[in-house]
Amino acid sequence: MSIEGWDITALGTGRALPVVTAPEPVLSRVGEPVDPTDPQIVALAADLVATMAVSPGCVGLAAPQVGVSVQLFAVDVTGHPKAATLHGAFVLANAVIVEASRWRPGREGCMSVPDLTGDVKRAGRIVVTGELPGSGRKVTITTDAFEARALQHEIDHCNGLLFLDKVSGAHAIYQRKVYL
């Protein structure tokens, strides 16, 4: 499945940026809405894609994770064993979840919280609206399984939330020893 009107190459080539880690305050600030046609935002979108590409095992990256408090994130769960519906690699601005159902638990980690993982309930099926960087075109994405989890995790980042804010219990946080 592909997103109508989306061409990742139109973003141009980005630079890989350093990823910030908690307790960096930017990770806990609500990101500002953006103009998806702003060349600076298009460049940031390209940077997110480039940063994701150099981070092993990374399936999503939000602007606050590179220190920019705005509503923009990149996702690519292609090839992940838990993925079902796939939209490939894409970047979304000002994304909002408009429908969420089939809640189920799962264990998550985050590049910005490198030493911990935690159990978090996420919707297994969601409908998300947002805007494509570059064209500014409004899109509605319906997805499920792992792509749905990844989108919820990244949209949380854009709203200043980490998985730590949603962990399902006092004993649902784990020390992470294994890196990809």
Apex 115 CA angle, 112 and 117, nearest 5? 85
Shortest reach from residue 34's CB to Zn ion, in Å? 19
Q: Is 157 annotated as a binding residue?
A: yes
Taking the C-alpha atoms of residue 20 and residue 111, their distance in angstroms, rounded to an integer, is: 8
b/e string for 141-163 if b means 16 or more Cβ within 10 A? Answer: bebbbbbbbbbbbbbbbbbbbbb
Shortest reach from residue 9's CB to another protein, in Å? 25
Give residue 50's Cα distance to chain centre: 14
27 binds Zn ion (CB under 5 A): no
32 is catalytic: no
Taking the C-alpha atoms of residue 73 and residue 96, their distance in angstroms, rounded to an integer, is: 12
Residue 121 contacts which entry, another protein, Zn ion, none (Cβ below 5-8 A, type-dependent): none
Query: Of residues 52-91, which lie at the interface with another protein (CB under 8 A)?
Result: 57-60, 80, 82
Q: Is 87 annotated as a binding residue?
A: no
Cβ proximity to another protein, 134 vs 152, nearer residue: 152
Taking the C-alpha atoms of residue 87 and residue 34, their distance in angstroms, rounded to an integer, is: 22
Taking the C-alpha atoms of residue 167 and residue 54, their distance in angstroms, rounded to an integer, is: 28
Binding residues (CB under 8 A) for another protein: these are 57-60, 80, 82, 106-111, 117-118, 146, 149-150, 153-154, 163, 170-171, 174-178, 180
Binding residues (CB under 5 A) for Zn ion: these are 110
The annotation places the binding site for Fe cation at 110, 153, 157
Catalytic positions, written as ranges: 154
